[in-house]
Amino acid sequence: MNKLKSYFALLFVTGLLSSCSSYDRSDFTTDRTNKGDMYNILYYASLSGSSHNSQPWRVEVYKEDSILVFTDSLRKLNVIDPKEREFYISIGAFIENLNLAAGSYGYNTEIRINNAVTDKNIPTATIKLSKCKKTDFQISDIEKRRTLHTAFDTTEIKGNDLEALIKSAPENIHYAPSSFINGKYVKKNTINSYAQQAKNKEAQDELAKWFRFSNRDVKEKRDGLTTSGLDLNGLSGFVVRNFFNPEDSKKESFVNKAIEKTQMQAENCAGWIIITQPKNDIEAWINSGRLYQRVNLKCRKLSLGFQPMNQMIEEKNYESEANSFLDYKGTIHFVARIGYVKDYPDPVSVRRPVESFTTFK
Ligand SMILES: Cc1cc2nc3c(=O)[nH]c(=O)nc-3n(C[C@H](O)[C@H](O)[C@H](O)COP(=O)(O)O)c2cc1C
């Protein structure tokens, strides 16, 4: 009897301990040593950011020289992204990581985008790879990139750092300091549009489908928004992980807490990165996704926290006003807050394994 009691006590303690910490990326490592270059390149591609961590890609690999990238329509966010802009921005981020990783493995890429994808069986991108000298891109930069939800420093960004962020595409990448009129506008309208979206029942239903609160869900799905990925640490992370289910995220108290947190985030940054494009089609969205990924990678190198906050352009009534008030050339595709952070934590958001989105032909 005593043995049985200690067995159950041990089970209880083990369960309690494992629910104390959230499963994160470090819990799902794969030995990639003998998997080949294509597998490794796709692993790094998959570490790109995506809206709600939906990871909406599917891939076919033909020998060592071509990769077809498809979208996975089951992973669309129809409520907050009906025009599919963010869907393709996420694909663009994947392609950018793929391109950088390929270079570092010694492959040149020739990327062709199909701007009129009408069928899920037609690839969005066809990527031809040819052997070349390895680039000096440090692949570990991809492993370190992340979205950060904590407060950032509000001190001005240094001129050199700003130049490094913008110089690859000054026509498309803009910076609005928080203390300037455009920055103040983005802050106010990000908070208000977030509150509007957070109270919208359809957006709540959609978001709830991507929450992975319990460790069991994280392990099973390896996508979506986890407590650690949202930087919900300590006691609040423990409570959400163990006592909340995704449906609870629709309750007024939860929604109000999320609005409060968004306000804190919008108020605690040095300024806003805004990506624009002259066009509004698949290719332009993919280009914005590639720029987003590049800026996020660069921010990490410069100890600048980076958090996409796109609600101002997701909510239709805010979007048109923002485009005319901010008056950049082209349309706004992407908004993110940035600011220096002292201790940059390691990335924690989880990813599906390469095998789950890839067919090797
Ligand atoms: C198009 C797009 C929109 C996003 N919008 C938000 C957002 O509104 N708020 C937020 O905190 N993160 C946002 N993100 C970041 C994703 O949630 C994040 O990339 C994903 O959870 C994976 O985490 P990681 O970037 O740390 O790898 C967005 C990302 C993309 C690509």
Tell me: pLDDT of 12 over 80: no
Percentage of residues in the chain having pLDDT higher than 90:
90
Q: CA 129, CA 102: separation in Å to the nearest integer?
A: 8
Q: Which fold has domain 159-340?
A: NADH Oxidase (3.40.109)
| Ligand 1 geometric centre to CA of 6 (Å) | 44
| Ligand 1 geometric centre to CA of 42 (Å) | 19
As a 3-state breakdown, the chain gives helix, strand, coil percent values, each rounded to 5, of 50, 15, 35
CB atoms within 10 A of CB 178: 22
Using one digit for the tens of pLDDT, what is the confidence trace for 303-351?
999 999 999 999 999 999 999 999 999 999 999 999 999 999 999 999 9
Give the pLDDT band of residue 1 (cuts 50, 70, 90): low
Buried b (16+ CB within 10 A) or exposed e, 316-325: eebbeebbee
Give the pLDDT band of residue 11 (cuts 50, 70, 90): very low
| Ligand 1 geometric centre to CA of 110 (Å) | 27
Quick one: average pLDDT of 221-226?
97
pLDDT of residue 10: 46
| Ligand 1 geometric centre to CA of 33 (Å) | 29
- Sheet-wide strand order for 57-62: 107-113, 125-131, 66-71, 57-62, 358-360
Using one digit for the tens of pLDDT, what is the confidence trace for 157-213?
999 999 999 999 999 999 999 999 999 999 999 999 999 999 999 999 999 999 999
Ligand 1 atom at minimal distance to the Cα of residue 52: 17
| Domain range list for the chain | 27-145, 159-340
Ligand 1 atom at minimal distance to the Cα of residue 149: 11
Show the ligand 1 pocket: residues with CB < 6 angstroms: 49-53, 86, 89-90, 93, 146-147, 149, 225, 229, 307-310, 347, 349
Ligand 1 atom at minimal distance to the Cα of residue 89: 1
Same fold, 27-145 and 159-340: yes
| Ligand 1 geometric centre to CA of 90 (Å) | 9
Q: Which fold has domain 27-145?
A: NADH Oxidase (3.40.109)
Indicate which residue's Cα is closest to atom 17 of ligand 1. 52
Contacts of 269 (CB under 8 A, 6+ apart): 152, 154, 178, 305, 307, 337, 338, 339
Ligand 1 atom at minimal distance to the Cα of residue 314: 8
Q: CA 144, CA 230: separation in Å to the nearest integer?
A: 16
| Ligand 1 geometric centre to CA of 190 (Å) | 15
Q: What is the mean pLDDT of the chain?
A: 94
